[in-house]
């Protein structure tokens, strides 16, 4: 296989973007990525776009063809990728494999979701389809409810506290406040989280990621050609994906995501690295308990110690390991199809030394972890400065 590099990236602002449309967002992100890579559109061979539910959110299907059309990329091969909240990272994996295999030389990977044009209840139904519609959503189990079950069990087995989960939100809002692209631009306190409205006990509104609009894009090409376009290429040194049962009741455990553990194991083996080698990571914190389980399942901390590590500041910016420097899904926002690509854009900026205001000191290795649904899909990518 060929070695693969990211040579450009870009994203739109994340947030409740009432005056922006679906195609506006992805065109902005894609144009920024192409310009960052010093490319012309006619040099691109293929497009992979991560989008979860455009049909429900904006009544638009055939999304990849729309993006290729409005970005002036016809007649290239354009493919939509859907894997719930992991759509963006699975699109990145498809782009990576296309370049690594030699099938294509220059690939654009995009992720986009416009979620605020429908009511909150309609958005909840669309997102609920990422779980088992028949046995969970139809029975009234929303995603906050599913993650609340995980949180309750984690608290029971390991003594994790609501305050420890709340510290995830406090940290990620602090990082988001330093990120001009983030949905939330304001820091919050532990008291703010603890006093916020209960959504599904023990999860409160500040434990939950928001409904967000946004888009992100990357340009991939073989590493040996990257230097013609940039002197700050970032190499993708591992890409791994795994699956698990879609419904919680079929899982072996409520306190870990098996798909994360398997994908992480494969990724670390591919990169010939260990968890201690990672300097900065973007992990899937759709709820605060999700970040605690992620940092345990990825091997950064022992099972059951994620809450304590967070409370002690070990995951803060420039600490033992910098987790979610962008603000994560919780602070930067979670336009579901775009999230996996945004994570990689943030790691690219970190490894380039271009994450102004939130820069990790001299990072060499970064990781992204993106989950679909409540854990049925997981993608892990590892990156290094080229």
Active site positions, annotated: 85, 334
Distance (Å) of CA 111 to CA 39, 53, 116, 122, 313: 19, 12, 16, 21, 31
Pick from 210, 203, 209, 378: which is nearest to 297 by CA?
A: 378
259 φ, ψ to 5°?
A: -60, -35
Pick from 259, 262, 240, 277: which is nearest to 90 by CA?
A: 240
Separation CA 200–CA 265 (nearest Å) = 32
Q: What dihedral do alpha carbons 380, 365, 291, 219 form, nearest 10°?
A: -50
Q: Which two structure tokens, joined as six digits, stand for 176?
A: 């988001």
* Cβ–Cβ < 8 Å for 25, 16: no
Separation CA 95–CA 64 (nearest Å) = 13
What residue ranges in the chain does DSSP mark as E strands?
4-11, 46-50, 77-81, 107-113, 198-200, 203-204, 214-222, 234-243, 280-282, 322-323, 365-372, 377-385
Separation CA 71–CA 82 (nearest Å) = 20
Q: What is the DSSP letter of 208?
A: B
């Amino acid at each position: 296989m060929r070695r693969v590099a990211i040579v450009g990236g870009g994203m739109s602002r994340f947030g409740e973007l009432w005056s922006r449309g679906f195609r506006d967002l992805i065109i902005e992100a894609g144009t920024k990525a192409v310009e960052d890579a010093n490319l012309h559109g006619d040099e691109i061979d293929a497009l992979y776009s991560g989008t979860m539910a455009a049909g429900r959110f904006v009544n638009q299907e055939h999304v990849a063809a729309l993006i290729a059309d409005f970005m002036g990329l016809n007649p290239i091969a354009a493919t939509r990728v859907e894997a719930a909240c992991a759509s963006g990272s699975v699109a990145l994996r498809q782009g990576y494999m296309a370049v690594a295999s030699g099938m294509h030389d220059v690939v654009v990977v995009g992720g986009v979701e416009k979620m605020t044009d429908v009511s909150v209840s309609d958005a909840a139904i669309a997102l609920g389809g990422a779980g088992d519609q028949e046995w969970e959503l139809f029975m009234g189990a929303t995603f906050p409810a599913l993650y609340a079950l995980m949180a309750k069990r984690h608290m029971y087995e390991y003594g994790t506290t609501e305050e420890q989960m709340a510290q995830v939100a406090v940290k990620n809002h602090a990082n988001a406040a330093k990120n001009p692209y983030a949905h939330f631009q304001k820091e919050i306190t532990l008291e703010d989280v603890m006093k916020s409205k209960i959504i599904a006990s023990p999860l409160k509104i500040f434990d939950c990621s928001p409904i967000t609009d946004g888009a992100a894009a990357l340009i991939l090409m073989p590493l040996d050609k990257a230097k013609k376009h940039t002197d700050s290429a970032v190499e993708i040194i591992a890409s791994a994906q795994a699956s698990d049962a879609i419904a919680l009741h079929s899982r072996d455990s409520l306190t870990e995501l098996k798909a994360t553990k398997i994908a992480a194991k494969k990724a670390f083996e591919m990169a010939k690295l260990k968890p201690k080698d990672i300097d900065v990571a973007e992990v899937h914190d759709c709820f605060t308990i999700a970040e605690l389980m992620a940092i345990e399942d990825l091997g950064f901390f022992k099972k059951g110690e994620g809450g304590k590590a967070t409370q002690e500041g070990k995951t803060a910016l420039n600490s033992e390991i910098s987790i979610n420097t962008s603000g994560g899904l919780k602070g930067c926002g979670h336009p579901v199809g775009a999230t996996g690509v945004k994570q990689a854009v943030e790691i690219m900026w970190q490894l380039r030394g271009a994450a102004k205001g939130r820069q990790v000191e001299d990072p060499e290795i970064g990781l992204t972890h993106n989950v679909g649904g409540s854990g049925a899909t997981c993608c892990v990518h590892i990156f290094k400065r080229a």
